Amino acid sequence: MRKRIDDNLKRHLIKLVVEEGKKQIEVSREMDVPVSTLRRWVSEYRKELQKERNGEEYVTPTERLKQQRALEKEIQELKEENEILKKAMHIFSKNPQ
């Protein structure tokens, strides 16, 4: 049966490898974590760091969908405001006082 590893412990193990330069095999043995799992975590962490350095943001599909919906909502609101302004401009241009 697999044991569930806490996210804080996971981050700590990744930092031991990436920032402190410990070998993955040593950390794996000391903390009783499969070396393949630790390698995967470190690889994912390094990819995220690389994306951040390149100015890209790591976004999950769900987050991307939320962003898209928010942008679509904002576009709709702006279109409505634009229509109101057009109508107001038409009304004020008819009755110059």
Q: What is the pLDDT of residue 1?
A: 44
Q: What is the pLDDT of residue 57?
A: 65
Tens place of pLDDT per residue across the chain (97 aa) = 467 778 888 888 988 888 888 898 998 898 888 899 999 999 998 888 887 777 666 667 888 899 999 999 999 999 999 999 999 999 888 865 5
With b for 16 or more beta-carbon neighbours within 10 A and e for fewer, the 64-81 pattern comes to eeeeeeeeeeeeeeeeee
